[in-house]
Amino acid sequence: MFKLNEKAAGLTPYAPNTAALPVRLDANESFLPLPDALREKILREALALPMNRYPDPEARALREAFASRYGVPAENVCAGNGSDELISVLLQTFLQKGDALATVSPDFSMYAFYGYLAECRHVEIEAGADWEISVDKVIETCNKENVRLLIFSNPCNPTGRGVPREEILRLVRSVSALVVVDEAYMDFWDQSVLNVCTEYDNLLVLRTCSKALGLAALRVGFAVGNGTLIGALQAARSPYNVNALSQCAAAAVLRETEFCDGAARALIAAKGALEAGLRRIAEETGGFSPVPSCTNFVTLRLPDAAALNEALRAAGVSVRHFGGLSALRITAGTEEENAAVLSAVRDYFAKEKKGGAS
Ligand SMILES: *Cc1c(COP(=O)(O)O)cnc(C)c1O
């Protein structure tokens, strides 16, 4: 009988929230639909695609649209089937079995998952009590543990906290490891290292169309770095990794500067409103503290996160519960969605304050 190896037997599938609740604030997606005119333009272009042919293996038009929006050379950009695919490919490419991979904790769970598949040695660097990241500690650990690759999100998912650009560059200059900065949420903050990343031989930056640009369904992400790193990544990825419909649609959206800028501004404003609302409730009732966020979500820390999660579900609101961290991550939504979550949070803590919460 065929038996799975230890690695395959140890896998558990990624489990996103799938409950069909009316208010879905659990996956950090954008709440903004594409404007009708832009959707129609994409459809017209899609109709003209030769579906019997493989897509452009180099995703040229897509990379050029990204490069021109973000001010980087197109030849320094590698496109992926979501940045998730790029994380998987880059860990397999830049690490060999047994190499040390460092991640920060808490952070995006997929880093450790793909690191496991790449059979590397995992070094976890704990964030501070307020989830702040000490760059000195990261540097020290990387050098002491002979870390080959360090990957972390900035701003961080799930904490919402960010490390300033100068600190990131100091880190890159102070370690021999390849540093991969996942800037999935950097459209919501202004501390990107994208425009200088090609000057370093040990820095890769990841970006995605899934958050601020509102294209999570298309699965499009990017890696940017110097020619040597991007050349290796281009060689390692599968040849037609980004399908023709996604190439066409994401390129069309990236060219719409006004839509992209406006969408980021609207999501930042929505996060500001959600954060302010939560802060007001926290001041009134106590019981939890929203972590200041540089992203499109707000994370709450509280002793009984599971109970608040249940109360939100009962009110029809889906958020992301991190049991191990005793935290809830709430994506900023429309005014109505934010109102629904705020009212459910207020009710929960009002009851708890009266000692009535069960
Ligand atoms: C959402 C997210 C991504 C994006 O993944 P895609 O595969 O591009 O949709 C990457 N990194 C982090 C930290 C994220 O939160």
Question: Is the residue at 281 inside a domain?
Answer: yes
Pair 188, 248 in one domain: yes
Same domain, 237 and 125: yes
Same domain, 157 and 274: no
Nearest atom of ligand 1 to the alpha carbon of 107: 13
HSE-up of residue 130 (Cα within 13 Å, Cβ side): 9
Supply the pLDDT for residue 16: 75
User: CATH number, domain at 85?
Assistant: 3.40.640.10
User: Do residue 164 and residue 286 come from a single domain?
Assistant: no
| Atom number of ligand 1 nearest to Cα 81 | 7
Q: Rounded to an integer, what distance in angstroms lies between the CA atom of residue 306 and that of residue 282?
A: 18
Specify whether the CB–CB gap between 206 and 180 falls below 8 A. Answer: yes
State in Å, rounded, how far the first CA of the chain is from the last one: 50
Query: Per the domain annotation, does 4 fall within a domain?
Result: no
Whether the upstream peptide bond of residue 55 has omega within 30° of 0, thus cis, is no
If one counts the domains in the chain, the total is 2
If asked whether residues 149 and 224 sit together in one domain, one would say yes
Domain boundary among 256, 278, 303: 256
Residues 175 and 318 in one domain: no
**Element of type H or E holding 47:** helix 36-47
Q: Which of 227, 256, 285 marks a domain boundary?
A: 256
- Rounding to the nearest 10 degrees, give the CA dihedral for residues 105, 265, 193, 248: 100
Q: Which residue has the least CA distance to atom 15 on ligand 1? A: 157
182: CA distance to ligand 1 center in Å? 8
8 within a domain of the structure (yes/no):
no
Are residues 269 and 135 part of one domain? no
Whether residue 179 is predicted with pLDDT greater than 90 in this model: the reply is yes
Q: What is the DSSP letter of 202?
A: S
Distance 210 CA to ligand 1 centre (A): 7
203-261 pLDDT, tens digit per residue, is 999 999 999 999 999 999 999 999 999 999 999 999 999 999 999 999 999 999 999 99
Same domain, 81 and 183: yes
What residues make up the domain containing 54?
47-256
In a shared domain, residues 251 and 265: no
pLDDT level of residue 358 (50, 70, 90 thresholds): very low
Q: Is the pLDDT of residue 276 over 70?
A: yes
* 6 belongs to a structural domain: no
The CA distance from 150 to 10, in Å, is 23
Pocket-testing residue among 210, 224, 295, 299, ligand 1, by greatest number of atoms within 8 A of Cβ: 210
Claim to verify: residue 201 and residue 338 sit in the same structural domain: no
Residue nearest to atom 12 of ligand 1 (CA): 184
Structure tokens at 57: 């293996």
Q: How far is Cα 168 from Cα 264, in angstroms, rounded to an integer?
A: 23
Cα of 152 to ligand 1 centre, how many Å? Answer: 11
Residue 328 domain flag = yes
Q: Is the domain of 265 the same as that of 346?
A: yes
Give backbone dihedrals phi and psi of 295, rounded to 5 degrees, phi first.
-125, -160
- Using the 8-state DSSP alphabet, how is residue 34 labeled? P
**In this structure, are strands 77-80 and 320-322 parallel, antiparallel, or unpaired?**
unpaired
The CATH number that applies at residue 280 is 3.90.1150.10
What's the 283 CA to ligand 1 centre distance in angstroms? 32
> Within a domain: residue 39?
no
**What's the gap in Å between 125 CA and the centre of ligand 1?**
20
DSSP string, 274-326: HHHHHHHHHHHH-S-EEEP-SSSEEEEE-TTHHHHHHHHHHTTEE-EEEGGGT
**End position of a domain, from candidates 224, 256, 288:** 256
Residues lining ligand 1, Cβ inside 6 A: 28, 82-84, 108, 153, 157, 182, 184, 208, 210-211, 216, 221
Residue nearest to atom 14 of ligand 1 (CA): 184
Specify whether 110 is located in the same domain as 241. yes
Q: What digits encode the pLDDT tens for the residues 4-57? A: 999 999 898 887 777 789 999 999 999 999 999 999 999 999 999 999 999 999
Distance 240 CA to ligand 1 centre (A): 20
**pLDDT band with cut points at 50, 70 and 90 for residue 356:** low
Condensed to tens digits (0 to 9), the pLDDT of residues 317-348 reads 999 999 999 999 999 999 999 999 999 999 99
